[in-house]
Amino acid sequence: MKCRIYGDRGVLLSSLSEAERSRLLHRVESGLPPACDEYVLGYDSILLIGAQTIAVQEWLEQTNGTEVRAIKPSGCRIIEVDYTGADLDSVAQACNLTVTEVIELHSAPVYTVRMMGFSPGFPYLDGLDPRLHLDRRSSPRDHILPGTVAIGGAHAGIYSVASPGGWHLLGHTELNLFNLDAARDLDPDPAQVFALSVGQRIRFQPMSTP
């Protein structure tokens, strides 16, 4: 783990091992360091906005004592996907698979939401089958619809708002990842605003054709 200042804006803990990352995820839930009012997760990093190095080091020492709780036995959310994405054929070709195999490999694993970013509620999903790991498209698309199920690098994801993007498009889900109506509440509840949360497990299920 590296601990470094992020300009005068906070402290970044980076190069986290999986164990360090999950310990920190629990730690931030039970309280942030003094002066820190917000945190942001990266792939193997966490930014503690407003925090000072010394306070973070003390906070980390407290963290070392905490046991990592067992993963909450939360269920696995099933997300129905209409596998009609524009890149199914090109992905199959690039991975040396058939389209059916791509769909099978994509819908087999249980994924875990690693972090959210890029757009509001956009989940970076761990657990993509290595046979589907592909570099991003060389030319990103200008306009991808919300609900588009896609893969990029070692991750699966779902576009949460209309945006440009460079991932490979496999299908579409009706799930609304960023609920603007709930965002209008006076005191918005993240569980209502965002369909998914960090640490949540999900699985994709091909929509049964009528």
Partner 1 sequence: MIEILSIGSGLSLQDAGRSGWRRFGVPSGGAMDRRSMTLANTLLGNSTQAPVLEIARLGVQVRVLSDAWIALAGADFCSLFKAGTARLVLAGEVLVFDQRASGLYAYLAVPGGFRAEHWLGSASTDLRNGMGCALRRGDRLESLRATPNITTEGVARRVAIEPTDQICENRAHFELYRGTQYEAFSAATREKFVRSEWTISKRSDRTGYRLEGNSLAVPASIPSEPVLPGSVQVPGNGQPIITMRDGPTVGGYAKIAFLKADDLDRMAQCAPGCLLSFSWLD
Distance CA 157, CA 187 (A): 28
Q: Please report, as a single letter, which amino acid is at residue 50.
A: G
Taking the complex as a whole, how short is the minimal distance between the CB of residue 40 and partner 1, in angstroms? 4
HSE toward the beta carbon, residue 150, CA cutoff 13 A: 27
For partner 1, the binding residue among 122, 159, 167, 204 (CB under 8 A) is 122
Taking the complex as a whole, how short is the minimal distance between the CB of residue 4 and partner 1, in angstroms? 6
For partner 1, the binding residue among 193, 195, 200, 204 (CB under 8 A) is 193
Q: Site map for partner 1, 70-109, x if CB under 8 A?
A: ----------------------------------------
Q: In a 10 Å sphere around its CB, with 0-12 CB exposed, 13-18 middle and 19+ buried, how is residue 128 labelled?
A: buried
Tokens of 105: 């490999």
Distance CA 73, CA 76 (A): 9
Q: How many residues bind partner 1 (CB under 8 A)?
A: 45
Q: Count CB-CB contacts under 10 A for residue 203.
A: 14
Q: Is 190 in the site for partner 1 (CB under 8 A)?
A: yes
| Torsional sign, CA 17, 116, 110, 168 | negative
Q: Is 152 in the site for partner 1 (CB under 8 A)?
A: no
Q: Is 178 in the site for partner 1 (CB under 8 A)?
A: yes
* Cβ(167)–Cβ(145) below 8 Å: no
Question: Angle at the Cα of 190 (from 185 to 192), degrees rounded to 5?
Answer: 65
The residues in 4-63 that bind partner 1, with binding defined as CB under 8 A, are: 4-10, 12, 14, 37-47, 49
For partner 1, the binding residue among 55, 92, 94, 183 (CB under 8 A) is 183
Q: Is 143 in the site for partner 1 (CB under 8 A)?
A: no
Beta carbon nearer to partner 1, 36 or 102: 36
Contacts with partner 1, residue ranges (CB under 8 A)? 4-10, 12, 14, 37-47, 49, 115-122, 124, 160-163, 178, 180, 183-184, 186-188, 190, 193-194, 198
